[in-house]
Amino acid sequence: MTDLLEGRTALVTGAARGIGHAIAAALARHGARVALADLDGDATAAAAARIPGARACVLDVTDADATERVLDALAADGWTPDIVVPNAGILLLAPATDIAPDEFRKVLEVNLTGAFVTARAAARRMGEGGRIVFTSSLFGIRGGSGNAAYAASKFGMVGLMESMAADLAPRGIRVNAVAPGQIQTEMIEKLVATRLEQGLPDPRERLIARIPMGRMGTPEEVAGAYVYLASSLANYVTGQTLVVDGGWQVG
């Protein structure tokens, strides 16, 4: 589409599907060569095959040693990423009083610690001009019923992003985050299916009623924010969270 990211190399975690895959595809369309990383090896390989020139990596983002090995392997092939999107995440929707401590820890381990591990390993290898773009959430800006674990992980990510932005700015590395609102993804579809099986109402009706644009967003509509933050168009932007929510916050 454009050469906005020509000559850049990107790594996107949680890229086998949903927003992660849309981000990888958008970065590639704008000129970057892209490595997709995910825990699901077969799905990641299939996702990478849909993006010209992309490569697939199997990665558990909670495993710091494995993350180092993946980045070492990319570097050995001349693929040291200068754009990194720590996007891998899981969702747990339940009242705070119903969440077991181990369940809570797991969400934080994947969503927050995993993002830290990825960003730390990448930042150690980046030179001036590097970009790290975290995937936070609307629930990283405000809490919500049934979102105690997920919101805690995403609020923590915003603090992590802002702190890393301050740490890395002297090295010429910009660190930002995108906070998607209600986006139609496989994760949401599974949630809807589960609720319908339980005889509960479709949650999308209530969600859409809150969105001034009158619909949920698509992963492709979110991905453009990552392209912007990864590009030279945002050279003086760091430590910021860009919300992409169809107007949810003002509705």
| HEC profile of 10-74 | EEEECCCCHHHHHHHHHHHHCCCEEEEEECCHHHHHHHHHCCCCCEEEECCCCCHHHHHHHHHHH
Out of 106, 145, 153, 154, the active site residue is 154
Note the pLDDT tens digit of each residue in 140-179.
999 988 899 999 999 999 999 999 999 999 999 999 999 9
Cβ–Cβ under 8 Å, residues 30 and 4: yes
Give the per-residue pLDDT at 185. 84
Out of 136, 137, 153, 231, the active site residue is 137
Across the range 170-194, mean pLDDT stands at 87
Out of 150, 153, 226, 231, the active site residue is 150
Across the range 15-30, mean pLDDT stands at 97
Pairing mode of beta strands 33-38, 55-58: parallel
Asked if 137 is an active-site residue, the reply is yes
Residue 71 has pLDDT above 90, yes or no: yes
Residue 220: what residue type?
Answer: E
Across the range 70-98, mean pLDDT stands at 95
Give every strand in the sheet of 241-244, ordered side by side: 55-58, 33-38, 9-13, 83-85, 131-135, 174-180, 241-244
Cβ–Cβ under 8 Å, residues 178 and 222: yes
| Average pLDDT in the chain | 94
pTM, full prediction: 0.94
Strand partners, 10: 34, 83
Across the range 216-236, mean pLDDT stands at 97
Residue 213 has pLDDT above 70, yes or no: yes
Give the per-residue pLDDT at 1. 64
Distance between CA 172 and CA 168 in Å, rounded? 7
Kindly state the helix (H) or strand (E) to which residue 207 belongs, with its residue range: helix 203-209
Percent of the residues in the chain that have a pLDDT greater than 90, as a whole number: 82
Give the per-residue pLDDT at 197. 80
Give the per-residue pLDDT at 146. 86
Query: What confidence category does residue 201 fall into, taking pLDDT thresholds of 50, 70 and 90?
Result: confident
Residue 65 has pLDDT above 90, yes or no: yes
Asked if 150 is an active-site residue, the reply is yes
- The fold for domain 9-250 equals Rossmann fold (3.40.50)
